[in-house]
Amino acid sequence: MAEDCVGHAATLAGLEAKACVTKRLNIHGYHKSPQKFGSLAIYGSDAPAIQDLLRADTLRQKLIHPALPALCGEVVWAVRFEAARTIDDFLARRTRSLFLNARAAMEAAPKVASFMAAELGYNEQWQSEQVATFQRISRRYLPV
Greatest Cα-to-Cα distance within the chain, rounded to the nearest angstrom: 60
Taking only Cα atoms into account, the Rg of the chain, rounded to an integer number of angstroms, comes to 20
Distance of CA 8 to the CA centre of its chain: 34
Instruction: Count other C-beta atoms under 10 Å from residue 139's C-beta.
Output: 10
Report all structural domains of the chain as residue ranges with CATH numbers, in order of start: 2-141 (1.10.8.870)
Backbone angles phi, psi at 122, to 5 degrees: -95, 160
Q: Are 98 and 141 in contact (CB under 8 A)?
A: yes
For each of the chain's 144 residues, which pLDDT tens digit applies?
A: 878 888 888 899 998 888 888 878 898 999 999 999 999 999 999 999 999 999 999 999 999 999 999 999 999 999 999 999 999 999 999 999 999 999 999 999 999 999 999 999 999 999 999 999 999 999 999 988
Give the C-alpha separation, 80 to 127, whole Å.
Answer: 17
